[in-house]
A and B are shown apart, each in its own frame.
Chain A
Amino acid sequence: MNAEQIRNRTDALVKRVYEASQKAALPENFVLMGDDGVLDSISILELVVALEREFGIEVTGEDVRPENFQDMSSLTVFIANKMSHS
């Protein structure tokens, strides 16, 4: 799976959890969690479950941190790294 496919699938999953109706892709700096984030901790849990199912990766407790889940860009990089190591 290439980077664009990962980005597109991640985009669809985030939109589903966020319940966003927009069709355009979420911007790279779209903040997921934190001060300006759109997701709460339970939504992140839902997203993690969806990511594991979609990409066949395993997300540990420690993986859920700002470097990986802050915004769309960091999340896409995180998934790519996880896939390359699995």
Chain B
Amino acid sequence: MSSREPHFGDKLDTLLRGALDSLVAGQEPPDHIWPRIRAELTSNTSSLSRPRCRRLVPVLPVALAVLLIALQGANPWQMRSLFREAMGIPTRDWPPPVARVYVEPQSAPPAALTPLDEIELHFLKTHSPLRTKRQPSANHRNRPVVIAAVDVLPHPASPEGRLLKAERSDAAIPVEEQRFLTGGPHRW
């Protein structure tokens, strides 16, 4: 280690060397270091390779989680809210989202279904927009149309029509008297 390159030769070099030598002059490590090293090596573990503060790192979250579970009754949403409040994170007071899914067997008949009565069936058949248009069958086409004679009025010029008019004109029909106003056309 004496292969020092030729370097600074001024007063500062001397001062630095003297200052550092004085800082550690006669300083020896205490005797208890080697027994500690030997103990570590024989136990095949290195305590300093795992810093003391890091040993607690896995313990703290577990302890915190256990505490939160104990306080909140293992409700993960409330645990999350409590944790966020503790960390100063804004929280929402929404209830936890719940998704309920029911799978009903296809073969089982629905228990609440009751048979429709005749009125309901008639209503559905006549008013439902889903009703099917009835197609005329051959029986319908061949069936004769019967029209009652009383339903058809005779033509007024025909003898039956004149007779009917004469029968109806027997009763006096009141005629409204017209009123005439002076002063020009009437304006309503």
Decide whether A and B are members of one complex: no
Q: Which residues of B contact A (CB under 8 A)?
A: none
Binding site for B on A (CB under 8 A): none
